[in-house]
């Protein structure tokens, strides 16, 4: 499937995801898929409405088998979080409970720290229609509240799990914020660039482009600076030298290449 590299090892682990009274199997499967997208693998269900196992959940998981096959089912939220030491509850609703409320970004930093210290952590998500009830929220240590449009802040189950998973994965990810995709070619060496500059400069002098003579040094420096900023690869340098050669040959022979 698109975006899947079977040669890569599956990144798994992270906090336990607890879905309280999930309804449709498709939603459970979509949540499982979202989990594995971001390296989360432990999924617990509290009294799923349509039972478990669920074929529709398997289909919707789209290959997130490691999550689906490891699902554990509990009859109560209390049992589902019994062995956890830190539990967050993700909800868009403000309840009348005195609990600290964190953004997803703050919560995942705390969870990473606790997991590194050996603590067992979990994140609860409520059913699709009503969300978590006060009895469920009372079992959580903190609330995660997503900053969203106050007039339309409701997320479906898979969206909520995906959002949390992304923040969790991003907090530990070391991918550079900007990467240059140069394919299989490597950056050109300074010598290769110098040969390109010399080649181009010779042809520009011959063609009369570097005129008047007193402005030629500045023009050459500007052209070199332009090419330096392009971060050319070895292949690109060869291509540009070929272009220069082709143009100069056509000029000398009077051919237009057609």
Helix (H), strand (E), coil (C) string for 93-113: CCCCCCCEEECHHHHHHHHHH
pTM of the model: 0.70
Give 11-36 pLDDT, tens digit per residue. 567 999 999 999 999 999 999 999 99
Q: In whole angstroms, what is the distance from residue 184 CA to residue 92 CA?
A: 46
**Structural domain span for residue 204:** 190-253
Helix (H, G, I), strand (E, B) or coil at 133: coil
pLDDT for the residue numbered 148: 85
Give 149-187 pLDDT, tens digit per residue. 888 888 899 999 999 999 999 998 766 665 666 566 788
144, 223: one domain: no
Of the residues 137, 172, 207, which one is the last residue of a structural domain? 172
124, 233: one domain: no
147, 236: one domain: no
120, 148: one domain: yes
Percent of the chain with pLDDT over 70: 88
pLDDT for the residue numbered 251: 78
Contact residues for 61 (Cβ-Cβ < 8 A; gap 6+):
29, 30, 32, 33, 67, 68
């Amino acid at each position: 499937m698109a975006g899947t590299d079977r040669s890569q090892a599956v990144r798994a682990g992270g906090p336990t995801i607890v879905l309280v009274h999930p309804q449709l199997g498709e939603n459970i499967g979509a949540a499982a898929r979202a989990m594995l997208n971001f390296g989360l693998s432990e999924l617990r269900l509290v009294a799923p409405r349509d039972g478990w196992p669920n074929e529709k959940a398997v289909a919707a998981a789209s290959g997130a088998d490691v999550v689906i096959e490891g699902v554990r089912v509990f009859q109560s939220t209390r049992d589902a979080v019994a062995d956890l030491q830190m539990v967050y509850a993700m909800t868009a609703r403000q309840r009348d409970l005195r609990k600290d409320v964190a953004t997803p970004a703050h919560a995942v930093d705390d969870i990473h720290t606790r997991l590194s210290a050996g603590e067992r952590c979990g994140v609860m998500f409520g059913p699709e229609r009503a969300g978590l009830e006060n009895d469920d929220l009372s079992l959580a240590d903190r609330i995660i509240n997503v900053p969203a449009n106050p007039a339309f802040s409701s997320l479906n189950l898979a969206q909520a799990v995906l959002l949390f998973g992304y923040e969790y994965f991003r907090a530990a990810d070391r991918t550079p914020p900007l990467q240059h995709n140069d394919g299989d070619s490597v950056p050109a060496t300074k010598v290769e660039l110098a040969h390109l500059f010399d080649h181009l400069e010779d042809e520009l002098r011959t063609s009369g482009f570097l005129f008047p003579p007193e402005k030629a040094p500045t023009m050459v420096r500007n052209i070199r600076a332009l090419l330096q900023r392009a971060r050319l690869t070895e292949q690109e340098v060869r291509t540009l030298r070929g272009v220069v050669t082709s143009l100069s040959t056509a000029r000398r022979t009077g051919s237009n290449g057609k």
